[in-house]
Structure 1
Amino acid sequence: MAGQTEMLGNYEIKSNERGIFSVTLSNYAYTAPMAHGMTFVKSLTADVQTGKIYPLRDLFKPGSAYVRVLSENIRQQIRRRQIPTLGPFGSIKPDQDYYLADKALVVYFQLYEIVPYYVGFPMFPIPVSDLESVASEQGPLAIMATNS
């Protein structure tokens, strides 16, 4: 007989300022006799006036090397923070998960994607000021970087 599945959902508003809304949504599921449950986190960043949802690529200038810039920043953070990885870190995906919070772009990975389970969800905050050379002038990063 299969066990019952326990499922919990949650959300956390990461940013709701300057017309930009960014939220994470998490879903945890456990079915006995699994060793542990599994959690997935997804996020959404949108313009509250237009409803436009921003995939990662839309935060950056067309043709910019944002994947390389973000990947190198993450590689340095892995080294500096001594984060244990499952293998050498290569690169983010062009549509990597992210959210915006506190004038930072936070790139994150799912459980087991690059680190062992016990590490949890690896989150890599990158100040928007570090991304000015590749950020779209009209996108959420430019809006979040303003001092008004």
Structure 2
Amino acid sequence: MKMSRKFITAGVAGVMALGIAVSAWAAEPQITDQKIRSGGVTVNIPVVKGAVGGAEVDDKVNMAIDFNIVKKLYAYLPGGSNGLSLQENYYPEFDGYGGAKASREFVTDIAGFINRQLQNQAQAAHKAGSHVKQYTFDGRYQVRFNSEELLSLEQTYMDYLGGAHPNTYLDTINVNLKNGKLLSLGDMFKAGSNYLPRLNAIVAKQVADEQQLKGFFDKKVEVNGTENFYITDNADLVIVYPPYAVAPYAAGTIEFIIPVSQVADIFNFKLE
């Protein structure tokens, strides 16, 4: 069967296009799920592998994820989050020497210890008349954006300590996958761009436009650069406030969705 040059050329072009598409897809790191469970403590943790920056960046990203989880778990120690200084001083897993494997083992150990702490507290409360027999902690994550250059994760934590309702907390992790650098809100914008007034103008308009939300806010919402945020596949920058941060618990998590197209002239990354 004789094939025309036009057909052959189209076929080669199609194969090349497919190869480029596969290559682009393969450049995104692979993210798998690991579950750590000890009694009333359950934590789902993402495992990142295949960052464009190599195995060293994989380690940095996974240790940053573990560190965030440990910070949250340490809050349940008798000394509260002040106990974090002990972890920073005495556990080298988080300063690069032990690597991600060691830091993940450390998270597992801490989860077991915190479970014992929580259940001891629950038993004491139950003896004092509480109807609750078990305190719980649940940690989950969601991949919000994953590309060759950027990874954006949202981590949500919920505990129940016998109160009127569970408590919800959240963290976000945004990473430059070329070098493993953790990105702040300011890092998403060009240096000297004076991005805060731009963001605050957009947020203020959203508050004014959404009359059903306006009554919820306890105070004026003003972005200061320390907020949790994530990127979406729709090329949105989402600034996130957990319950109680800017509104009562009943309002839930408050999110301000800012299309990157509105700040494209000062945005630092291409979202592809």
State which of 118, 123, 133 in structure 1 corresponds to 2:250.
118
Richer in helix (by share):
2
The residue that corresponds to 1:68 in the other structure is 197
Amino acid at match of 2:241: F
Q: Which segments of 5 or more consecutive residues in structure 1 lack a partner in the other structure? A: 137-141
Aligned-residue sequence identity (percent) comes to 24
TM-score, reference length from structure 2: 0.48
Task: Tell me, in whole angstroms, the C-alpha distance in 2 between the residues paired with 1:10 and 1:87.
Answer: 28
The residue that corresponds to 2:125 in the other structure is 2
The residue that corresponds to 2:31 in the other structure is none
Check if 1:25 corresponds to 2:152: no
Corresponding residue SS for 1:143: coil
The residue that corresponds to 2:15 in the other structure is none
Q: How far does the alpha carbon of each residue in 1:58-101 deviate from its partner, in whole angstroms, 9 at most, with x for none? A: 11122322111111111111121221333342411222110000
Asked if 2 retains the 8 angstrom alpha-carbon contact of 1:16 and 1:22, the reply is: yes
Matches within 5 A, 1:32-47: 32=162, 34-47=163-176
Task: Tell me, in whole angstroms, the C-alpha distance in 2 between the residues paired with 1:69 and 1:88.
Answer: 20
Amino acid at match of 2:230: Y
Richer in strand (by share):
1
Distance 1:120 1:53, change over 3 A: same
The residue that corresponds to 2:146 in the other structure is 16
The residue that corresponds to 2:185 in the other structure is 56
Corresponding residue SS for 1:2: helix
The residue that corresponds to 1:139 in the other structure is none
Please report the RMSD computed on the Cα atoms of aligned residues, expressed in angstroms.
1.6
Amino acid at match of 2:167: M
Amino acid at match of 1:85: F
Corresponding residue SS for 1:98: strand
Asked if 2 retains the 8 angstrom alpha-carbon contact of 1:106 and 1:125, the reply is: yes
State which of 223, 226, 229 in structure 2 corresponds to 1:95.
226
Asked if 2 retains the 8 angstrom alpha-carbon contact of 1:18 and 1:143, the reply is: no
TM-score, reference length from structure 1: 0.85
Amino acid at match of 2:244: Y
Larger radius of gyration: 2
